[in-house]
Amino acid sequence: MSFMVHTRKGSKKHYHVDPLLMPKVPRINYMHLQEEKHRLQLKKFLLHRMFLVGHIQENVEKKEISEYYEQLFQSILKHHLGEAVTGILLIYSSTFLHIMETSNGTFFRILLDYVAHEKEENEFMIYNMKIIVASHNIPTRLFMQWHISVIKVPVLYLEDVTQSQSLAEVTTDFLTMTHKLSLHLFKTIKVGMKGPGDNLHQIAPDLLLPEQTIQYLCKADEFLDPVTFLSMYNKPIHVTLDSEIVWPAPSRF
């Protein structure tokens, strides 16, 4: 609200605006606050974080998986606007854990590429993928780059504890440990630094998930596979009811 004060020429009387009526703080709306936050964080799109698990085909080398994802990320950014992918891919003996941070459209195309390979190839290098959780509109990244690491788990960590736990308990442990691991890497790995490499089991052995946990989650029907997830993603929000297409329109009293 603005105040305009007019004075007549030659008049010695002055009009003063009550200082209590003047706005003390610039009035901006919530959208402007969000836009400023994203500008400060150098984000063009909203960020999302996704936790994926799955199996790896036998005799697949780490280099093949690394090259596949790096080429896929570059191809997506080249042809579609979006945020760069950051995160980490942990490769176990027969399973993997993948944490990715990027924009929604990039996630959509990454999953589409996986589904296409799964349909076209008899034995794609990764299979039986499950989406454990997707966090939307995260405030900041936990990873400044994308890393890949082979986990050489010692015998000490091969004890299977999932047999005596419920799905909720296993999922809670999974999210707790992956979050702690992500925070640890966030504090220790800076921009431009080399990732943990294949020594993660030595750097943070207490923060690594047992492979049995990943195998357990891959078998759980409660988690969506990429095909089901994409089907729900493409499903229209506005559903036309039968009562909306009959004539004459039903009247309600």
Predicted local distance difference test score (pLDDT) of residue 203: 77
Domain assignment present for residue 3? The answer is no
Q: Could you tell me the pTM of the whole model?
A: 0.73
Give the least confident one: 28-42, 74-88, 183-197, 201-215. 28-42
In a domain, 25, yes or no: no
Q: Is the distance from CB of 118 to CB of 124 less than 8 angstroms?
A: yes
Residue 10 forms part of a structural domain = no
Q: How many CB atoms lie within 10 A of CB 98?
A: 22
Q: What percent of the chain has pLDDT over 70?
A: 69
**Number of structural domains in the chain:** 1
Confidence of residue 8 (pLDDT cuts 50, 70, 90): very low
Residue 61 identity (one-letter amino acid): E
In a domain, 55, yes or no: yes
Range of the domain at 93: 39-234
More confident residue, 10 or 201: 201
The region of weakest confidence among 42-46, 82-86, 158-162 is 158-162
Least confident of 45-49, 153-157, 169-173, 215-219: 153-157
In a domain, 23, yes or no: no
Angle at Cα 103 formed by Cα 43 and Cα 36, nearest 5°?
A: 25
Q: What is the rounded average pLDDT for all residues in the chain? A: 79
Task: Return the half-sphere exposure (C-beta side, CA atoms, 13 A cut-off) of residue 98.
Answer: 23
In a domain, 9, yes or no: no
Q: What is the pLDDT of residue 1?
A: 45
132 phi, psi to nearest 5 deg: -80, -45
| Bridge partners, 135 (sequence order) | 49
The enclosing domain of 206 has a CATH number of 3.30.70.100
Task: List pLDDT tens digits, range 179-214.
Answer: 999 998 888 877 666 667 777 777 787 888 888 999
Confidence class for position 122, pLDDT limits 50, 70, 90: confident
Contact partners, residue 230, CB within 8 Å, separation at least 6 = 108, 111, 112, 115
8 is a domain residue = no
Domain annotation covers residue 240: no
Q: Residue range 55-70: average pLDDT?
A: 92
Count other Cβ atoms within 10 Å, centred on residue 130: 22
